[in-house]
């Protein structure tokens, strides 16, 4: 099923579309449709790289988590530059003890030595009662009024209110960056 | 334009770090992890907390969101050489061939340099058939070829080198060819213009 959209484009953009359409011997509508598809579609090159990277980052954390919960003290994992950087940070923060190139595949795999003192499961959700972080009035008095209000909303019992407040604080932070 | 002062910004990150660790609602923890992926890149504490959540939260969706946030933070760091990007894609191939037991669910938004990938994308390699894996790898390799600055000859040399240096990959490919996977292997490497006979030569060279 297709929808018909009517959009207004600035004169300058129209001229660019006309030129490109003539070069490719395609109607302007096809050029616009292709541009939209490339910008939001799932198969654009950059999103695929992001997807592939996410897959491998997830693989790194999943393997480490499962190894820790299984009582292993070392594990071999494949690395890419991004996950190698993450391994450096994991070591720096004490989540793993060390890592070194695999003897069998020194370029592509690392032996990761796990931290035996690292708990493999946090007390959350069904496992233990947890409390929302709280701030008293003194702690928020030096904040700007808008942020103080959001911080108050983040402490409300209603989940929807907290979700809305998270978005509001994130947007405010990004706007002021 | 709203302007947050330094204290506001510090408090925003600090409160989010506490929320993502301690809020009783997984929905709130998911949303907070996603927010930290957007605003936490300069905070060591935020990254450390996301690591903790990615490894230890009891909720699958919260862990997935923390991993997505970590990916977003690290993928925006200075880019790696193009040849490393190529190797990255080869790793995907190796993961799929070497570790069919890997199970991963993509339920969280994945933010990238050119937009967002969001939705439910279950990837259970224990259940996916080879054709589906081939399609995915083909897409990745095709994407590689579309990157203007990667020279196809560089890509070919890098794959040849990878096969030479990685006996596991070489054996897997050799077995795939022997066991009737010729078409699959062809599909995987065709996008880079690598002929099957060329590939066979690399695989058999010792």
pLDDT at residue A142 above 90?
Answer: no
Indicate the average pLDDT of chain A.
79
Which of B51, B95, B143 is closest, CB to CB, to A49?
A: B143
Q: Minimal Cα–Cα distance from B152 to chain A, Å?
A: 16
Q: How many residues make up chain B in this entry? A: 206
pLDDT at residue B1 above 50?
Answer: no
Output B182 or B196, whichever has higher pLDDT. Answer: B196
In this structure, are residues B93 and A50 in contact, taking their beta carbons and an 8 Å threshold?
Answer: no
Q: Cα(B14)–Cα(B17) distance, rounded to whole angstroms? A: 5
pTM: 0.60
Q: In this predicted structure, what is the pLDDT of residue B113?
A: 32
Output B139 or A146, whichever has higher pLDDT. Answer: A146
Q: In this predicted structure, what is the pLDDT of residue A27?
A: 77
pLDDT at residue A10 above 90?
Answer: no
Interval A59-72 mean pLDDT: 90
Structure confidence at residue B28 as a pLDDT band (50, 70, 90): very high
pLDDT at residue B108 above 60?
Answer: no
The ipTM value here is 0.71
Structure confidence at residue B53 as a pLDDT band (50, 70, 90): very high
How confident is the model over A86-123, as pLDDT tens digits?
A: 999 999 999 999 999 988 877 778 999 998 776 655 44
Question: 3-state DSSP call for residue A114?
Answer: strand
Which of B1, B35, B117 is closest, CB to CB, to A166?
A: B35
Indicate the average pLDDT of chain B.
69
In this structure, are residues B36 and A23 in contact, taking their beta carbons and an 8 Å threshold?
Answer: no
Greatest mean pLDDT among A74-88, B99-113, B183-197 lies in: A74-88
Chain-centre distance for alpha carbon B74: 12
Output B66 or B80, whichever has higher pLDDT. Answer: B66
Chain-centre distance for alpha carbon A15: 38
A84 touches chain B (CB under 8 A): no
Q: Cα(B6)–Cα(A177) distance, rounded to whole angstroms? A: 11
Q: In this predicted structure, what is the pLDDT of residue B127?
A: 38
Most B CBs within 10 A among A61, A72, A164, A177, hence the mutation to make, goes to A61
**Could you give the angle at the alpha carbon of A135 between the alpha carbons of A130 and A139, nearest 5°?**
155
Q: In this predicted structure, what is the pLDDT of residue A125?
A: 43
- B91-B96-B102-B105 Cα dihedral, nearest 10 degrees: 90
State the DSSP H helix or E strand holding residue B131, giving kind and residue range, or none if neither.
helix B130-146
């Amino acid at each position: 099923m297709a929808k018909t959209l009517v959009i207004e484009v600035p004169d300058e953009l129209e001229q660019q579309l006309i030129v490109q359409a003539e070069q490719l011997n395609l109607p302007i509508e096809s050029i616009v449709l292709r541009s939209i598809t490339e910008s939001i579609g799932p198969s654009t090159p950059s999103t695929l790289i992001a997807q592939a990277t996410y897959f491998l980052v997830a693989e790194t954390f999943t393997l480490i988590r499962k190894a820790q919960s299984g009582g292993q003290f070392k594990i071999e994992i494949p690395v890419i530059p991004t996950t190698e950087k993450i391994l450096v940070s994991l070591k720096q923060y004490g989540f793993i003890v060390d890592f070194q190139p695999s003897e069998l595949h020194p370029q592509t795999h690392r032996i990761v030595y796990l931290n035996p003192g690292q708990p493999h499961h946090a007390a959350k959700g069904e496992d233990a009662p947890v409390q929302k972080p709280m701030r008293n009035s003194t702690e928020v008095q030096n904040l700007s009024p808008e942020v103080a209000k959001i911080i108050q909303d983040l402490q409300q019992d209603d989940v929807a209110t907290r979700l809305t407040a998270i978005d509001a604080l994130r947007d405010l932070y990004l706007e002021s960056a | 334009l709203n302007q947050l002062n330094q204290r506001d910004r510090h408090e925003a990150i600090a409160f989010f770090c506490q929320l993502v660790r301690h809020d009783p609602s997984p929905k709130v923890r998911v949303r907070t992890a996603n927010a930290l992926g957007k605003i936490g890149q300069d905070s060591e504490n935020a990254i450390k907390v996301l690591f903790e959540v990615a490894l230890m939260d009891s909720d699958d969706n919260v862990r997935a969101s923390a991993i997505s946030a970590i990916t977003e933070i690290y993928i925006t760091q200075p880019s790696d050489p193009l040849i490393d990007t190529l190797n990255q894609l080869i790793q995907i191939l190796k993961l799929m061939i070497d570790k069919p037991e890997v199970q991963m669910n993509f339920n969280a938004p994945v933010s990238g340099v050119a937009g967002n990938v969001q939705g439910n994308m279950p990837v259970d390699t224990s259940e996916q058939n080879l054709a589906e894996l081939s399609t995915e790898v083909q897409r990745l390799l095709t994407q590689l070829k579309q990157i203007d600055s990667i020279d196809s000859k560089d890509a070919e040399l890098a794959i040849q080198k990878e096969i030479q240096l990685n006996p596991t990959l070489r054996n897997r490919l050799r077995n795939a060819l022997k066991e009737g996977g010729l078409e699959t292997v062809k599909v995987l490497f065709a996008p880079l213009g690598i002929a099957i006979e060329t590939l066979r030569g690399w695989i058999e060279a010792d």
